[in-house]
Amino acid sequence: MISKTALPCPKSNPLSRTDACVSPMATLASESDEPLTPAGRLFVRPEMNQVIHCAVGLKNPIDIDSVIAQVRGSVMLHHPRFCSLLVRDPDGREHWRRTHIDVDRHIVVLDRPVSATESDDDECSVNEYLADLSTSSGLSEDKPLWEIHLLLAHKCLIFRLHHALGDGVSLMSMLLACCRREDDPDALPRIGSVGNRRNVMAGKGRGWWEWVYYYLRVLWGFLEMSWFSLIFVVEFILRSLWVRDRETVIAGGAGVELWPRKLATARFWLEDMKLVKKAVPNATVNDVLFGVVSSGLSRYLDCRGPNVLQDGLRMTGVAMVNLREQPGSQDLSELMKDNSGSRWGNKFGMILLPVYYHKSGTDPLQYLKTAKAMIDRKKQSLEAYFSYKIGYLVMTCLGSKVAGLLNYRIVCNTGFTISNVVGPQETIMIGDNPITYMRANSSSLPHALTMHMVSYAGRADMQILVAKDIIPDPDFLANCFENALLEMKQAVSATCKI
């Protein structure tokens, strides 16, 4: 078993982060090899090389032998992506090749505190370790692209998985398939159920005027979809070419993915978010999250960039949208079906989410109302589907180099990344060890700010990964987000009393 952390990549040209860090295996492709999907090929490009880090806190000390036994007996080792090597043929095309798994090579054990500052705070130490991993040398291609780091002193497991293996929904489903509920050890964890869409044609005895009204609504919805799709798709194309945000104290750019990182955690209670969303009809937790981000960034800029920002200044975020037929995390067996609309892999689109800076004194619930109105328009459009399909088309027709460059430019021309993955509703266990928290982030991007939220057992933790030379105080930024939600909650309570 290995007992050391990965060495950081040398600072260099942003479009050459690689070849020194990940050694490609050139080999002849065989008939049994499976080509990577277009999305998978994108994520192994040097400029978009992405590794997902999922930190899992445990209640009890880690038993190394128990963890290894759990891994050897898990469904993970029967999944084709987790027991395949990434190989390249002489033409540079990537393939998956099945191989034997030596579990010991995938387990990294650290038996001493990992913090260089000797902090007694487990959360700070784990965040520091994850921040170092985000700019490290990546995953070795001489074995399947995953690792499990055991931080014994901090009772934390870190699942390190290459994004080419799957997206957040796929990987969350895999993780949950390896766990059991604390209140029922024989049962799999439950994810928040998604109700079926109500059929507006249901019912009998409609009059002719009701049918006319229904078809007018359908026509109006089609016109809105067409209009919003046209606007957002054009904006998406322009962003991939040259249009970019104005400079602010949170802006990144080309090469920033190589800069040293800091990581902080913002903690929210789902009950607070659900209470706040009731203030706006039909609002969702995602609406509240983006309202909190809008308000929190304005608070941060008020303190870090005063007197130089115009009210209404736009900052643009990139959000990932799950395109499966059923949103939310999926049952692993459903994801593995070839004919399923919820297939395993990277099945998501990107949308651009604008945030507008407002000076202090703005009604906190106004951020939620603005966020909901904007996200509703995004939902009516085909922007996410377009980004997925155009990426597939560019990859197929022009190759992974052009597709990787366009995606890199989109990230360079925007301000931040945000994602949200739904986790289990109740406390779950790995083996017999209850999980205390689940958090996720990824390796660094040209953005100076990336935010990944995962909900678990009534709480939602958002990992805030920053380029520390641009945003030196991520803990203060995390407090801005937490205070933004509390201020919204207080506004809702005050409204209810009136």
**Angle at alpha carbon of residue 422, lines to 419 and 426, rounded to 5°:** 145
| 497 φ, ψ (degrees, to nearest 5) | -75, -25
Residue 164's contacts (CB-CB under 8 Å, 6 or more residues apart) are 36, 40, 41, 43, 44, 86, 145, 346
State the Cα–Cα distance between residues 39 and 343, nearest whole angstrom: 13
Amino acid at 471: I
CA 186 to chain centre: 29
Record the tokens describing residue 317, joined without a space.
Answer: 């975020």
Q: Are 141 and 94 in contact (CB under 8 A)?
A: no
Amino acid making up residue 120: D
- What residues are annotated to the active site? 163
DSSP assignment letter at 247:
P
Q: Compute the radius of gyration of the chain from its Cα atoms.
A: 23
- In sequence order, the β-bridge partners of residue 266 are 462
CB 108 within 8 A of CB 2: yes
With contact defined as beta carbons under 8 Å apart, do 437 and 57 qualify? yes
CB–CB of 252/461 below 8 Å? no
d(CA 204, CA 217): 19
Q: How, if at all, do strands 180-181 and 261-269 pair? A: unpaired
With contact defined as beta carbons under 8 Å apart, do 371 and 488 qualify? no
Residue with token string 């492709």: 29
HSE, side-chain direction, 13 A CA sphere, residue 417: 27
Q: Identify the bridge partners of residue 416 per DSSP, sorted by sequence position.
A: 317
**For residues 21 and 53, is the Cβ–Cβ distance under 8 A?**
no
Q: Which residue has the tokens 């899992």?
A: 56
Half-sphere exposure of 486 (CA within 13 A, CB side): 8
| Sheet strands side by side (includes 180-181) | 107-110, 146-151, 156-162, 51-58, 433-442, 428-430, 180-181
If you search the block for the tokens 């969350």, which residue do you land on? 172
Q: How far apart are CA 95 and CA 148, in angstroms?
A: 23
d(CA 339, CA 119): 50
